[in-house]
Structure 1
Amino acid sequence: MQHFPDETDSRARVNSADTVPGVRDMLTKLISLPSISSASPEWDLSNEPVIRTLGEWLEALGFLVEVLAVPGQPGKYNLIATLGSGSGGLVLAGHTDTVPFDDKRWQSDPFTLTERDNRWYGLGTCDMKGFFPLAIDAARAFSASDLKQPLIILATADEETSMNGAKALAEAGKPKARYAVIGEPTSLKPVRMHKGIMMERLTFEGQSGHSSDPALGRNAMEGMHEALGELLALRTDWQAQYSNPNFDVQVPTLNLGCIHGGDNPNRICARCELHFDLRPLPGMSMEHLRQDILHRIQPVAERRELIMEFEPLFDGVPPFETPADAVLVQACEQLTGHTAHAVAFATEAPWLQKLGMETLVMGPGSIDQAHQPDEFIELSQLEPTVKILRGLIRQFCL
């Protein structure tokens, strides 16, 4: 854990708050600091410059700022900035990383905030660096002496890849608060549930041999063909058993994504590998799903005398749900005029829930613009976001 230098003179704090830029200048600065996270090392970058910049602004506003290195992830950091004290309070959370980009498909520099058509364009404008200046602007209206419960601004690392930043916080048991809003782009409509994400790898290894005599080998591709049938049958069973009308796609899904095997038509296939994707509904256990898969696939491998490997491609994101009658859900519905709904994309919400916080996802910008060339945030979303966040701060911190 690292701390920013302490400012002991309260008058200096007041004066330094004047140095915190406005919303546009803050976002201009954040967009100019590349913080891509990627499984490909040639793309992956540190998020430390973004974390340090946010920390300087928040400390100038009187927040106590902690910077925490993500274990095992060099160059990756989380930030916890706290104004006030108490056992409850509100977390306004977001991730500091972006996805990679194709500059040939952008009309303007992805790292330069560009205004046109009543929009701000730039990599991360909606997903989701744009949330931080608005949260900071909302916080400007309050001082520690105003608050009966703490206001916490949380910034995480690597949401777009491993979510290791949020996982590290859950393992560390911080931050502690009663409520949390994650400012992912939802067009300022509250989201109280989303599906989980599982990406799995199944491999069969047999024995190669001359194709003229099947008895000379053990065909891994034929075994995989049988396994595919079992997986699709399992999908049918799950979809008959589980359904949630809050989602556009009301059932859990299983997608057969890619398959590779063999090396020549006249050789018995010795190895075959399948990657597939699962999207479980709230209430479905990822561990139980993996056990169901093993129960159906292991007999195939044993019967065909194939060596089997089955493992996650990454740890996965659990499904998330906050009850419709939760205090935070009702507050956000009242402030926005929208009923909380479900989305297909996943967030860091499950890990904030593990910390004991009532959690909801809601922020400016549309998910339709996320991960796209010419990513943008509508200027019409800025003022309403600040107003809504100030309403939440008043309700849960004052």
Structure 2
Amino acid sequence: MADIPSLISMMSQLIATPSISCSQARWDQSNQGVITLLESWLADLGFHCEVMPLPNQPGKCNLIATIGQGSGGLVLSGHTDTVPYDEGRWQTDPFSLNERDNKLYGLGTCDMKGFFALVLDTLRGMDLTKLQQPLIILATADEESSMSGARALVKEGRPKARYALIGEPTGLTPIYAHKGIMMERIRITGKSGHSSNPGLGNNALDAMHAVMAELMVFRQQLKQRFHNADFVIDYPTMNFGCIHGGDNPNRICGRCELEFDLRALPGMDNQALFHEIKALLPEIESATNTQIELAHLFPDVPSFSTPKESDIIRACEQLTGHQAETVAFATEGPFLNQLGMETLVLGPGSIDQAHQPNEFMALDQITPMQNVIRGLIEKYCLTPQNDEVERV
């Protein structure tokens, strides 16, 4: 048995190591501390650990930890960052693991530092000298903001395995598909002036009214054009998240910005949607004598879909007793699929607790999740497999 800390000790240390990622610089932090902890523990278990710094992002890195050899195998993947937290709304210190009411509280308990602790604790009781195929533990950076860690892996073409599980909180339900997401900004530049004479300027808010009207029509068209009954919300959605414009009631608004997201169904193309939206703007720009710009807030995340007939999805349905489902939130799943792995999302805890004050993982999720982890390792790493036959 490897000499690594207990499950609770590992989770406590991970939670106590801040690793917030955010588009706002005042919140954004390095994930190096979390990577260092995982690297140390995994090395003690016999893994070969490679830390991959992200280009042009000091203090941000991925970890690929591998044990065993072969052309198949399994990746157990998670992200090392958390979202920011609401100061004053936590009942306890978000960076201190706290147990009460059969729950473990702390920032990242379910989303998703706790997953790594469960994986490591499971591995301590397994004989990893008998692996027939590789087992890879993958820890990524910046999933909660730009997903730059997963994007960097795609550019590197690594890691390679046959199957992958991402331990995001799904209440132990296998997830085989989710919508994509685009986050966009429309900026309108008009001309300010004294409000007593509208002819002195070009009102950017008036122009934005016309833009939003067109986007609402486009949104309704998408709802009519695209459906997927496997999703609870079975159509693509567009949300107007925030709008900023003007500075005083008695001045013509010279500038206005709208930020929105669009969540597309599997099979829809984010770039095609972007160009459809862009094509709506020149006519409004000309009619309002303004300048209208459409730009990405973040690079888009493609939709994710693994066939329900995939072996790993069938295996996880058997291990959990739950049929595979879909979700609306985005994960790193499409990027692991791009690396050639049959991927599903399955983890302890609920998305309802993620991104919330007093985030927690219920204690009764731990043993069932460890049973899933153990079962997948036994099936894909400890059992001899003829990978070439399987791929035919």
Name the TM tier (shorter chain). over 0.9
Q: How does 1:146-185 map to 2 (within 5 A)?
A: 146-185=130-169
2 CA distance for matches of 1:210 and 1:389? 66
Which residue does the alignment assign to 2:280?
296
- For the pair 1:355 / 2:339, whether they are aligned, the reply is yes
2 CA distance for matches of 1:207 and 1:108? 50
Equivalent position to 1:102, from 70, 74, 86: 86
2 CA distance for matches of 1:327 and 1:298? 49
- For the pair 1:252 / 2:236, whether they are aligned, the reply is yes
Moved more, 177-186 or 220-229: 220-229
Runs of 4+ that moved beyond 6 A:
none
Cα displacement (A) at 1:212: 4.6
CA-to-aligned-CA distance 1:103-155 (integer Å, 9 cap, x gap): 42222222222111111111111111110111112223444531121000001
Checking the alignment, whether the CA contact within 8 Å between 2:2 and 2:124 is kept in structure 1 is no
Which residue does the alignment assign to 2:379?
395
CA-to-aligned-CA distance 1:241-269 (integer Å, 9 cap, x gap): 11112222111111122222233444433
- For the pair 1:64 / 2:64, whether they are aligned, the reply is no
Cα displacement (A) at 1:19: 1.9
> TM-score, with normalisation over the residues of structure 2?
0.93
SS in 2 for 1:130: helix
Which residue does the alignment assign to 2:389?
none
Cα displacement (A) at 1:64: 0.6
Equivalent position to 2:364, from 356, 362, 380: 380
Cα displacement (A) at 1:236: 0.7
SS in 1 for 2:75: strand
2 CA distance for matches of 1:210 and 1:50? 55
Which residue does the alignment assign to 1:131?
115
Equivalent position to 1:114, from 87, 91, 98: 98
Checking the alignment, whether the CA contact within 8 Å between 2:94 and 2:106 is kept in structure 1 is yes
Checking the alignment, whether the CA contact within 8 Å between 1:221 and 1:261 is kept in structure 2 is yes
Which residue does the alignment assign to 1:271?
255
Which residue does the alignment assign to 1:308?
292
Cα displacement (A) at 1:296: 1.4
Cα displacement (A) at 1:162: 1.2
Which residue does the alignment assign to 2:212?
228
> TM-score, with normalisation over the residues of structure 1?
0.92
Which residue does the alignment assign to 1:207?
191
1 CA distance for matches of 2:246 and 2:19? 39
Which residue does the alignment assign to 1:196?
180
2 CA distance for matches of 1:40 and 1:264? 26
Cα displacement (A) at 1:286: 0.7
Which residue does the alignment assign to 1:9?
none
Moved more, 68-77 or 132-141: 132-141
Which residue does the alignment assign to 2:227?
243
| Cα pair distance change 1:236/1:58, threshold 3 Å | same
Letter in 2 for 1:355: L
| Cα pair distance change 1:361/1:211, threshold 3 Å | same
Checking the alignment, whether the CA contact within 8 Å between 2:172 and 2:348 is kept in structure 1 is yes
Checking the alignment, whether the CA contact within 8 Å between 1:319 and 1:350 is kept in structure 2 is yes
1 CA distance for matches of 2:285 and 2:255? 12
SS in 2 for 1:124: coil
Moved more, 210-219 or 384-393: 210-219
Which residue does the alignment assign to 1:11?
none
Which residue does the alignment assign to 2:390?
none
2 CA distance for matches of 1:269 and 1:120? 50
* Structure 1 unaligned blocks of 5 or more: 1-16
| Cα pair distance change 1:296/1:267, threshold 3 Å | same
CA-to-aligned-CA distance 1:66-115 (integer Å, 9 cap, x gap): 01111111111110100101111100000111112234222222222211
SS in 1 for 2:253: coil
Letter in 2 for 1:25: S
Aligned residues: CA RMSD: 1.6
Cα displacement (A) at 1:346: 0.9
Checking the alignment, whether the CA contact within 8 Å between 2:169 and 2:346 is kept in structure 1 is yes
1 CA distance for matches of 2:186 and 2:8? 48
- For the pair 1:343 / 2:327, whether they are aligned, the reply is yes
In the comparison of the two structures, how many residue pairs are matched? Answer: 382
- For the pair 1:88 / 2:77, whether they are aligned, the reply is no
Letter in 2 for 1:382: I
